[in-house]
Amino acid sequence: MSDSEEHGKGGIYSVKGQEYNRDSRYIETRIVKDPDPESGDYPVEPGRYRMIAAYACPWANRAIIDRDLLGLQDVISMGNPGPTHDADSWTFDLDPGGVDPVLGIPKLKDAYLKRDPDYPRGITVPALVDERTGEVVTNDFPQITKDLFHEWKDFHKEGAPDLWPADKLEEMEAVMKRIYTEVNNGVYRCGFAGSQESYDAGYDRLFTALDWLEERLDGNRFLMGDAITEADVRLFTTLVRFDPVYHGHFKCNRNKLTEMPNLWGYARDLFQTPGFGNNVNFEQIKDHYYKVHTDLNPLGIVPKGPDLSGWTTPSGRG
């Protein structure tokens, strides 16, 4: 999902005097192990699909991390748009000639229009593209990450983590729902508030949830116990952006992440786990938010801080 969809056809918008809302309508086609011929779904097939995912975007960052944790790098190729883009589309400005080397397109929008010439909504990441046809298959980001685990299991690396443990699934779904509504979306509820009242309400909701997480992590190494799950992936991509972006840019400034001992130790623990920190690009994150959100930051000035060296210090969570 683009974090800058307020520019036009996507899922973030703020109307003066109103609370922020996110358009959550996506292409619901799936890639599954045994597709029903009448469903329109695509078959799991190594080497056929390309994940387009920007390191700047927290929603795409989830898919990048899951792909790495599960060892699917040689099974699903990946293209990475640059962090700054126009109102029309994510663009491949980091690639030679500004063109994705596999799909041969300068804009992700081209793959969407190949699927539907009248595609009416935002050009979002992550998106899975069929390399054979150049058409987007799906951009349904929560389903993509779920299917990477369940539908691509035959191709996971040995020792891949059990991101969706069956014995904890009911509780985990409830935890992830609260994380999504109150934290992942909560920072946007503050940043794109259309009135003082909606900002104040969003701010209170966000920090109520962060306090709940701080308490939950007091006795657990990870959200669901001693092992990493999908819930941790979904929280991490917001936490890793909190001090560099959300604290100042989105006015989520009651305190910094570094001032919440359990969450800060937990976030560092994940950051130092292979699959997490190696898929974080702070420079791209800051460039995206501060340069693309011109309504919030009209001059496009990117702050030099904060000091990010603490991410590699011992977490104390072992």
Identify which has the larger pLDDT, 129 or 24: 129
Q: Which residues contact 251 (CB under 8 A, 6 or more apart)?
A: 190, 191, 199, 203
Catalytic one of 49, 55, 57, 289: 57
pLDDT at 19: 66
- In this model, does residue 280 exceed pLDDT 50? yes
pLDDT at 87: 85
Residue 26 among the catalytic residues = no
Domain boundaries, the chain: 5-15+23-155, 166-278
DSSP 42: E
For residue 214, give the amino acid letter. E
Residue 188 among the catalytic residues = yes
Beta strands in the chain (DSSP E): 12-13, 21-22, 31-32, 42-43, 49-52, 77-79, 127-130, 135-138
- Assign 102 to helix, strand or coil: coil
Q: In this predicted model, what pLDDT tens digit does every residue of 164-199 receive, in sequence order? A: 999 999 999 999 999 999 999 999 999 999 999 999
**What would the CATH number be for the domain defined by 5-15+23-155?**
3.40.30.10
Q: Using N-to-C axis directions, what is the helix angle for 261-271 and 196-216, rounded to 10°?
A: 70
Backbone φ and ψ for 3, nearest 5 degrees, come out as: -80, 5
Annotated binding-site residue numbers for glutathione: 90
pLDDT at 20: 63
- In this model, does residue 290 exceed pLDDT 90? yes
- The 8 Å CB, 24+ separation contacts for 112-120 are 112/136, 115/27, 120/9
| Mean pLDDT value across the chain | 93
Nearest to 160 by CA among 229, 58, 222: 229
Annotated binding-site residue numbers: 90
CATH architecture of 166-278: Up-down Bundle (1.20)
Catalytic one of 49, 188, 199, 290: 188
Mean pLDDT of 70-86: 96
- In this model, does residue 294 exceed pLDDT 70? yes
Residue environment code for 233-266, b if the CB has 16+ CB neighbours within 10 A, otherwise e: bbbbbbbbbbbbbbbbbbbbeeeebbebebbbbb
Three-state helix/strand/coil letters over 150-166: HCCHHHCCCCCCCCCCH
